[in-house]
């Protein structure tokens, strides 16, 4: 017992949550523990076009270092760490056949398809050949994104559709996007995105005038009916903000001590969005946004305990290839610079400014949430209940 | 008990002193524990001219991050951390009325005067409005310096005069100065300043010839009468070096194994100082210095466990505004470059070179003090006895 | 007991090995514990020509900071830390006599020969004078290298010949070399050098064509006769790879899944080396190498837990001064650029790429060695058995 505590403390030093802190968490304990994310879920790692045929990519997901290669169009993923001496294969990738990689140090050679140590170049009579496997990761591509299943070797891999927001995979939904690295824990990212009153930081965004948005300074929910959950057994698990006029009130006028000091844009043509939802493992859907014709889907993918990959995508329903091309052009000319950069840059800035307070995990005890954070509480509960495992130090390194 | 130890160990990782080390300290235990300084004392943070009307300043004192604003001439100080999500208000200060500040993230609005959460811009019906307070800090200005009382909310605030060296606040004492950041614990600063034999490092200073100083290579105290204490109940607490000719012996000739190797400047016109004293919480007075007409007052204000603000001031008694102007000009032309920079640069260098040895707190056990360090021992005892509290991890973050 | 564990944990934070990890090590436990090296051994610190008469050098060996000075041709070494306040003497070395050094801070003066605190310049009547000693280190020079004995004050100092590979000190052996700092633990250095299958990384080295080497892609030992030990009581302790044709098989053809993918250089004129051996405390001998006329001797000297000094030397037997000069010139023109840089750069790169895996000491539990690593296992056992002590946190700081 004492040894176990000591071991856990040792791990803490690598960025995991202290059990003394977890013991004090009343709501969403598993979520607070999941500093490195939830295990046994699908995560988008990068865009398909970033990995050409026969090319390599590396990704760090939930602290695990992964090497990916595209072979005959299909993407394969293996642990980026030789079994023998633990060196990263990616430091100098040597492929003597298309579907294997040989470690640059001693020639240990693995098959991408199943991870088998199929040969050792330079020691071809070794008894370990054919007996060991490097970890492989299931990979799927959808909507131009490469998804990796980060989980246990024997875990029954669920359909990708269970781990992305509804509508994202719809056949007529065209998707465009970009990614960047944010210096904040993935949960800081998720809660910034789902937080309904953080629109205060966007009050001067160029997107407002560019798309004539009616943007309030804040939103006040009226009681517990403001939030809804989707928890079907065979589908994605998520929490919705209910934006119905009976349950949420937009605030356009800012007052301080009785004095009117600020005004939102109540007369904008576009009153958006109507529907915001957060999905396991770490995806947000804002619908419609930033235009009545668009939906934003975005992910906050844990790199480690301190950083996340911010995958931003916009979707539009298209009827044919012409409409898809039109959307692609519009995305590059308008929505990427004005929305994904211009508007969301405020969010990236806010997340990085919040990170310090939560970095030592004590922020979860010291924060003082208020009424509009009710949806965040529901998200923490849902994530704690439906996640498929917590990433721990034993999975990394 | 076991949990308490674990918690303490956790704190250590943030730079506080290990209880196993403290248990071995025989003299001045509270002082060794006070790595982040003594709580419930007044500290100078910066100079008044650095904060104009309606301007902002931030200061980190004893590990606490503080935001200051000058309103109608008076300086107010609040914790630089929103109650809601812990972000620094100073990252983007938004003031919609002159005496409030609104958090840039969700519009939480605090009054500078009493810290009350008086509004939330964008969520004006929230039940938490008017119910919570951000921490405020008492502020006083004196002699061109802004002093902040860093302590508990309910602590009875003592007069500023109890926390500065005698003479500093005298009506006819004109004060000029400068500040800089030093990469050493505040106690390394204090002990360097008060240390009577460290003058060895100044043996080639330009101040010696510039002001014709009679500077010995070292000073040897003769027994325990060499030190005096001032411990009045209603006044500042300090330790004096007694520089009387019966109790201290200046050494002008340096010898190594019987051979004369070095000489001080025994024939200088100005034999200074006569009186050196160290005061709670962290102030030194050198009187007179660096000239018979001047007194140096300086502070080593803890920023955190590894750095201090070095506030250097010189005082001269003046009879009228003309004399004050004359002093101000002389300070800029001569004393700032020759004394506060030229001479004290040696001290800054020495402190930063000493920091490594004490950084892991084991230096307090390994140091080997000798006779002239008696005044430092007395200072450690006095500080351990009369401080009003030790800054701990529970006060920070 | 609990306190002892806490203390040990404290030390871990400074880079020593966690006892929970050590408890799981089955072979070579002392070696795994020796993250900072083996105590009470001779280590080369730098080359003689780097320290001229009356000059200073500093070296960090096994975490200990050492100041060296050459006086009348002889090199003396003392701890680079004043007894009084722990500052590094080397920060501003002040020598008022040739065989003493005075601390720049308070004039504490030490004799290089025996470490005695023989004077305090500026406090010449102090009672501590003549009563204390700073730590001194035995020093020997041989073959143009300065060796320092890093160990306990009362440890009976063994002959240097016990701590260097056989042949190195032979009278007719001329030695030339260079040193550099490598960002890897010293054992990662040692095991890279001694590892017989790591030649895979050198397959494209310019040395192969430059010296027409017959270099296989790997080597497979045939059973336990492939390794031999030298463990004489009064001599160096080491492990040999036995390169006899009956016990080791060179592999020139690389295959992956039955397909020939790579070829070594089986037709090179020079089939080298015949004899590779590893010696306590941290020296490798490769004989002959990189030419039939040369032997490589090299050391992986611990700086701390994360870095080592890589001392590379080549030796050639010479009959007279002319031959020695010839070798010196040949070394500079050919062997330094082609072998010590060109070839060994691959090794430095490989060590730094391996360091991450072992940095938290868990790599020793996770590594999966194979047959050709048998010599490394033998080295770990020999080092665990014959070392004269393990460097611990109590020796440093």
**Residue B44 exposed, middle or buried by CB count within 10 Å (0-12, 13-18, 19+):** buried
Residues 92-121 of B with CB under 8 A from C: none
Residue C121 has pLDDT above 60, yes or no: yes
C-alpha triplet C17, C18, C23: angle, nearest 5°? 105
Query: In the prediction, which pLDDT does C7 show?
Result: 39
Residue among B13, B20, B188, B197 with most chain C CBs within 10 A, to mutate: B197
Output the DSSP codes for A65-122: EEEEEEETTEEEEEESS-TTT---GGGS-B-SSTTEEE-TTT-EEEETTT-BEEEETT
Q: How far is B205 from chain C (nearest CA, A)?
A: 14
| Residues in chain A within 8 Å Cβ distance of B95 | none
Phi and psi angles of residue B261, each rounded to the nearest 5 degrees, phi first: -120, -15
Instruction: Give the CA angle between residues B397, C2, C8 to the nearest 5°.
Output: 70
pLDDT tens sequence across B273-310: 888 999 999 999 999 999 999 999 999 999 999 999 99
Find where tokens 């051996």 sit: C277
| Residue A73 in this model has a pLDDT that exceeds 60 | yes
From CA A382, how far away is CA B17, in angstroms rounded? 40
Q: Find, among A180, A181, A187, A179, the residue nearest to A354 by Cα.
A: A187
Task: Say how far apart CA A59 and CA B122 lie, in whole Å.
Answer: 40
- More confident site: B325 or B243: B325
Q: For residue B12, is pLDDT > 60? A: no
> What is the 3-state composition of chain C as percent helix, strand, coil, each rounded to the nearest 5?
30, 30, 40
**Average pLDDT of span C348-362:** 97
Contact B138, B74 (CB under 8 A): no
pLDDT tops 80 at residue C15: no
Between C229 and A7, the more confident residue is C229
How high is the pLDDT of residue A271?
85
pLDDT surpasses 80 at B28? yes
**CA distance readout (Å), C8 to A10, C203, C395:** 12, 44, 14
Sorting pLDDT into bands at 50, 70 and 90, what band is B6? very low
Hey, is B223 helix, strand or coil?
Answer: coil
Residue C4 pLDDT more than 70?
A: no
Q: Is the peptide bond before B319 cis (omega within 30 degrees of 0)?
A: no
Cβ neighbours of residue C150 closer than 8 Å, sequence gap 6 or more: C37, C39, C40, C41, C43, C61, C62, C64, C137, C391
- Asked if A18 has any chain B CB less than 8 Å from its own CB, the reply is yes
Cα of C90 to nearest chain B Cα, Å: 11
- A235: tokens are 């589908």
Alpha carbon of B32: minimum distance to chain C alpha carbons (Å)? 15
| Rounded Cα–Cα distance for residues A390 and B15 (Å) | 30
* Contact call for C123 and B218, based on CB within 8 A: yes
Residues 60-99 of C with CB under 8 A from B: 81, 83-88, 91, 96-97
**Helix or strand run (H / E) with residue A153:** none
The CATH architecture one would assign to domain C47-141 is: Single Sheet (2.20)
Q: Is it the case that residue A14 has pLDDT exceeding 70?
A: no
Q: Which CATH class is domain A41-141?
A: mainly beta
> Please, what is the end-to-end C-alpha distance for chain B in angstroms?
24
Closest CA relative to residue B214, chosen from B224, B227, B199, B228: B199
* Closest alpha carbon within chain B to A17: B10
ipTM of the complex model = 0.93
Return the pLDDT at B136. 98
Predicted confidence at residue A243, as pLDDT, reads 74
CA B282 – CA C58 distance, rounded (Å): 36
Euclidean distance between CA atoms B350 and B205, whole angstroms: 14
Q: Which has more pLDDT, A299 or B7? A: A299
Neighbours of chain C (3+ CB pairs under 8 A): A, B
Q: What integer best gives the mean pLDDT of chain C?
A: 93
User: Looking at the complex, does the CB of residue B125 fall below 8 Å from at least one CB of chain A?
Assistant: yes
Which chains touch B (3+ CB pairs under 8 A)?
A: A, C
d(CA B48, CA B46): 7
- Give the closest of B83, B119, B397 to A360, CB-based: B397
CA–centroid distance for B55 within its chain:
24
> What pLDDT score does B9 carry?
39
Q: Structural domain boundaries of chain A?
A: 41-141, 156-386
Please give the pLDDT value at position B4.
39
pLDDT at residue A274, as a whole number: 81
Whole-number Cα distances in Å, B161 to B158, B166, C292:
8, 8, 83
Residue A10 above 50 pLDDT? Answer: no
Measured between CB atoms, does B392 come within 8 Å of chain A? Answer: no
Query: Any alpha helices (H) in chain C, and if so which ranges?
Result: 2-12, 19-22, 29-33, 186-194, 206-210, 321-330, 344-359, 363-366, 374-386
Interfacial A residues in 300-359 facing C (CB < 8 Å): none
Given pLDDT bands bounded at 50, 70 and 90, which one contains residue B14? low
Rg, C-alpha atoms of chain C: 23
Residue A4 has pLDDT above 60, yes or no: no
B190-232 pLDDT, tens digit per residue, is 999 999 899 999 999 999 999 999 999 988 887 666 788 899 8
- Binned at pLDDT 50, 70 and 90, residue A169 comes out as very high
Place of tokens 């060196």: A87
Q: Using a CB-CB distance cutoff of 8 angstroms, which residues of chain A are in contact with residue B121? A: 200, 217-218, 254-256, 261-262
What DSSP character marks residue A309?
E
**Residue C389 backbone class (left: φ over 0; alpha: ψ -120 to 50; beta: rest):** left
Read off the DSSP letter of residue A162: G
Query: Distance (Å, rounded) from C-alpha B304 to C-alpha B295?
Result: 28
Instruction: Tell me the pLDDT band of B94, cut-offs 50, 70 and 90.
Output: very high
Q: What is the CATH class of C158-386?
A: alpha beta
Give the residue among B76, B79, B81 at the shortest CA–CA distance from B91: B81
Residue B220: per-residue pLDDT: 82
Dist CA B161 CA B159 (whole Å): 5
Contact: A13, C13; criterion CB under 8 Å: yes
C224 pLDDT above the threshold of 90: no
Average of pLDDT values for A293-309?
Answer: 98
Calculate the average pLDDT of chain B. 93
pTM of the model: 0.94
Strand partners, A182: A308
C275 vs C305: which has the higher pLDDT: C305
Whether A199 has a pLDDT exceeding 90, the answer reads yes
**Alpha helices, DSSP H only, in B93-199?**
186-194
Predicted confidence at residue A9, as pLDDT, reads: 39
Question: Residue A202: what pLDDT?
Answer: 96
- Most distant pair of Cα atoms in chain C: their distance: 84
Position A227 pLDDT exceeds 50: yes
pLDDT in tens, A20-41: 999 999 999 999 999 999 999 9
Please tell me the distance from the alpha carbon of residue B273 to that of residue B250, in angstroms, as a whole number.
12
CA distances from B184 to B297, B351, B382 (A): 19, 6, 22
Q: Where are the alpha helices (DSSP H) in A231-343?
A: 321-330
The pLDDT assigned to A225 comes to 66
CA dist list (Å): C346 to A103, A366, B302, C140, C182: 14, 51, 48, 31, 12
Mean pLDDT of B372-385: 96
Q: How far apart are CA C84 and CA C126, in angstroms?
A: 13
User: In this structure, what are the phi and psi dihedrals at residue A72, rounded to the nearest 5 degrees?
Assistant: 50, 40
Phi first, then psi: give them for residue A269, nearest 5 degrees: -70, -40
Residue B287, strand partner residues? B275
Percent of chain A at pLDDT > 90 equals 87
User: What pLDDT is attached to residue C14?
Assistant: 58
Residues B111, B101: contact at Cβ < 8 Å?
A: no
Distance from CA of A19 to the nearest CA of C (A): 17
Which pLDDT value is given to residue A249? Answer: 86
Looking at residue B225, its pLDDT comes to: 66
- State mean pLDDT over C53-79: 98
CATH no. of A156-386 = 3.90.380.10
B388 vs B11 pLDDT, higher one: B388
A56-A57-A58 Cα angle (round to 5): 130
Could you give the CA distance from residue A258 to residue C41 in angstroms, rounded to a whole number?
A: 78
Nearest to C46 by CA among C169, C113, C143, C160: C143
Mean pLDDT, chain A, as a whole number? Answer: 93
Regarding predicted confidence, which is higher, C115 or C229? C115
CB-based contact, B251 to chain C, within 8 Å: yes
Determine which helix (DSSP H) or strand (DSSP E) holds B333, and give its type and residue range.
none
pLDDT 10s digits, B323-355: 999 999 999 999 999 999 999 999 999 999 999
Q: Are the CB atoms for A35 and A184 separated by under 8 Å?
A: no
For helices A374-386 and A186-194, the axis angle rounded to 10 degrees is 130
pLDDT tens sequence across B170-181: 999 999 999 999
**What pLDDT score does B243 carry?**
74
d(CA A194, CA B237): 54
CB A378 within 8 A of CB A34: no
Rounded average pLDDT over A267-285:
93
Q: Which two tokens stand for residue A384?
A: 């704690």
What whole-number distance in Å separates Cα of residue C254 and Cα of residue A120?
Answer: 8
Report whether pLDDT(B124) > 50.
yes
Place of tokens 């004269």: C388
Best of A220, A256, A358 to disrupt the B interface by mutation (most B CBs within 10 Å)? A256
**Rounded-to-integer distance, Cα C378 and Cα C390, Å:** 18
How is domain B49-141 classified at the architecture level of CATH? Single Sheet (2.20)
Percent of chain B with pLDDT strictly greater than 70: 95
């Amino acid at each position: 017992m004492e040894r176990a505590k000591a071991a856990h403390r040792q791990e803490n030093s690598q960025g995991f949550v202290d059990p003394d802190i977890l013991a004090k968490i009343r709501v969403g304990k598993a979520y607070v523990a999941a500093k490195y994310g939830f295990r046994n879920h699908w995560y988008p790692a990068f865009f398909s076009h970033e990995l050409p045929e026969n090319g390599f990519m590396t990704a760090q997901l939930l602290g695990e270092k992964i090497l990916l290669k595209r072979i005959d169009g299909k993407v394969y993923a293996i642990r980026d760490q030789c079994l023998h001496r633990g060196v990263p294969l990616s430091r100098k990738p040597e492929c003597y056949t298309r579907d294997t990689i040989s470690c640059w140090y001693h020639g240990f050679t693995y098959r991408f398809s199943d991870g088998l140590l199929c040969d050792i170049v330079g020691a071809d009579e070794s008894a370990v050949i054919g007996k060991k496997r490097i970890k492989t990761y299931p990979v799927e591509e959808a909507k131009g994104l490469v998804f990796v299943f980060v989980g246990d070797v024997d875990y029954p891999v669920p359909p990708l559709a269970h781990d992305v927001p509804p509508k994202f995979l719809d056949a007529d939904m065209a998707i465009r996007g970009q990614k960047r690295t944010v210096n904040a824990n993935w949960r800081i990212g998720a809660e910034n995105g789902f937080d309904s009153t953080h629109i205060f930081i966007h009050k001067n965004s160029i997107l407002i005038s560019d798309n004539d948005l009616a943007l309030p300074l804040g939103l006040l929910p009226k009681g517990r009916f403001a939030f809804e959950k989707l928890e079907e057994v065979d589908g994605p698990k998520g929490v919705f903000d209910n934006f119905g006029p009976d349950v949420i009130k937009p605030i356009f006028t800012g007052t301080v001590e009785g004095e009117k000091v600020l005004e939102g844009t109540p007369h904008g043509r576009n009153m958006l969005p109507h529907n915001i939802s957060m999905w396991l493992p770490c995806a947000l859907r804002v619908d419609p946004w930033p235009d009545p014709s668009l939906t934003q889907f975005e992910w906050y993918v844990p790199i480690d305990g301190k950083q996340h990959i911010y995958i931003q995508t916009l979707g539009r329903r298209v009827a044919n290839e012409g409409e898809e091309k039109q959307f692609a052009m519009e995305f590059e000319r308008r929505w990427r610079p004005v929305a994904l950069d211009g508007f969301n840059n405020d969010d990236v800035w806010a997340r990085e400014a919040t990170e310090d307070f939560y970095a030592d995990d004590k922020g979860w005890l010291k924060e003082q949430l208020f009424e509009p954070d009710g949806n965040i509480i529901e998200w923490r509960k849902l994530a704690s209940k439906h996640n498929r495992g917590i990433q721990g130090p034993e999975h990394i390194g």
